[in-house]
Amino acid sequence: MDKKELAIKYINRQSGAVELEKVPGNKMLRYLYHTSMGRLSLYALVKRKFFTSALGCLIDRRFSLKWVPGFIENHQLDTQEFLKDPKEFTSFNDFFYRKLKPGSRPVQDGLVSPADGKILAFEKMGHASKFFVKGNKFGIQDFLKDDILAEKYQGGSMIIIRLAPSDYHRFHFPASGQVGETHPIKGHYYSVSPMALKKSIKIFCQNKREYCILNSTDMGDILMCEVGATMVGSILQTYSPNSTVERGEEKGYFAFGGSTIVLLFEPGKVKIDADLLQNTEQGYETTVLMGEKIGSPVQ
């Protein structure tokens, strides 16, 4: 496959410009998902928990701090946003799931992005197949492993927020309301990079994931699902189940690696911002920041 075909292009929401993503492990992803030998390696090793766990152990060690300055410089991260001084981190992982200073991510009105990342938005779940490989459909029953729940969200809207390794990796509630308990679903650890997803959106139905229901005050029952991936050692929940939460309040964080949050909405409850739908229709993800408005309740 041509390198240009595999390049990850996205739209910068602030400027409207099409930009090219700098992908850690770019060559490895091409090898794993687009060559015969790579797919054999993927099945035998990379998707396995022990591979991800082993990498997680390495970046939890103090010696991994030596990679932090180069990572910050390479990805041009704003250290002024960090709650900790970069010298205070205890490992690369500690840096990776860093907290930000209060006010670094203003929380707007309406439906807001639960995380920093790049977003795909679908007015109806069935529209997702247009973005991915032809005939490669998103199966909500396979994704949720619950027929009753799948029926509830069938025909509703879907938003996918992809977090790259350089992104802020704490996730937050997209709306205010009453939140329930977390439900884990066992799975593998495939990459959620567009290089992998363009090949198979079914990765979402194969990876380890956790979901809960947020009974929002004005947008119905929002299903929020965190999806693990290669090198994501853990999905850690910091919220209190069966409690009232506010829009923008922290829900949890991902340990090292790229990862994804999927939001599902009941039919007729949410109006997604037009620019996000249009960009997705044209085949592009769009950059968003946590707390940034991405939709509104249907009046």
Q: Hey, which residues are catalytic here?
A: 116, 172, 259
CA distance linking residue 53 with residue 51, whole number of Å: 5
Asked if 91 and 61 count as a contact pair (C-beta separation under 8 A), the reply is yes
Three-state DSSP state, 87: helix
HSE of 240 in the Cβ direction (CA atoms, 13 Å)?
A: 4
**What number of other Cβ atoms are within 10 A of residue 261's Cβ?**
24
Radius of gyration of the chain (CA): 18
**Secondary structure in 3-state letters for 202-264:** HHHHCECEEEEEEEECCCCEEEEEEECCCCCCCEEECCCCCEEECCCCEEEEECCCCEEEEEE
